[in-house]
A and B are shown apart, each in its own frame.
Chain A
Amino acid sequence: SQQGEEDPQALSIQEGENATMNCSYKTSINNLQWYRQNSGRGLVHLILIRSNEREKHSGRLRVTLDTSKKSSSLLITASRAADTASYFCATDPSDKIIFGKGTRLHILP
């Protein structure tokens, strides 16, 4: 079974609204990362949050981590058409990183 699972699987919002997606995982981690993938492209790293951190910001992105609940959330504020993509969380329960199945985000004009 997946170490990290994103929720929801798909999300459609109006341009300008905020988008929130969640990631739950099963075992202890050192870091949790979020990546974006545009259709047919490679993944692009967005942000890394360490297990001793609770919140991190990068531009319009805000990531939270709750190790007691084994969950993380990614908030994209003031969404734009260019934010349309799939978003994956990645955790490191062992010597390799494991990706979830992703949330497909669609920004409506």
Chain B
Amino acid sequence: DGGITQSPKYLFRKEGQNVTLSCEQNLNHDAMYWYRQDPGQGLRLIYYSQIVNDFQKGDIAEGYSVSREKKESFPLTVTSAQKNPTAFYLCASSVTNNEQFFGPGTRLTVL
């Protein structure tokens, strides 16, 4: 089945620790995106990548880092510099600016 997967579904982190969220797609999409969603809010763009080995900051990139070494994979690292990391994180992929396909999300909680 084609699709986009995120793991883990739930993640707990102690303050001061870095944590990496996985995002994989087998849709052969060039573009991939990371969003953050807080309760009752819309999506805010963290980072996006339109091609392998290239990525751009979104609206709230501070405290996050990404890599795009393979077309299929776009992992997001939440660093200890992110002041309020508890949130729901969504990964998506697309062909340019058309329909985005979303993963099921990872809910990160900082203890």
List residues of A whose CB falls within 8 A of some B CB. 2, 30-31, 33, 35, 40-45, 48, 88, 90, 92, 95-102, 104
- CB pair B98 A96 closer than 8 Å: no
Quick one: which of B58, B88, B90, B102 contacts A96, CB cutoff 8 A? B58
- CB pair B99 A96 closer than 8 Å: no
Most buried by A among B40, B94, B100: B100
Q: Tally A-B pairs: CB < 8 A.
A: 53
- CB pair A98 B103 closer than 8 Å: no
- CB pair A92 B97 closer than 8 Å: yes
Interface residues on B, range: 20 to 34
Most buried by A among B92, B97, B102: B97
- CB pair B97 A95 closer than 8 Å: yes
Once bound together, how far apart are the Cα atoms of A101 and B50, in whole Å?
Answer: 24
Closest to B91 in A: A42
From B41-49, B65-73, B79-87, the one touching the partner chain is B41-49
Once bound together, how far apart are the Cα atoms of A100 and B35, in whole Å?
Answer: 13
List residues of B whose CB falls within 8 A of some A CB. 33, 35, 40-43, 45, 48, 50, 58, 88, 90, 92, 94, 97-105, 107
- CB pair B43 A99 closer than 8 Å: yes
- CB pair B97 A44 closer than 8 Å: no
Measured between beta carbons, the chain A residues less than 8 angstroms from B99 are: 33, 45, 48
How distant is A84 from chain B, measured CB to nearest CB, in Å? Answer: 15
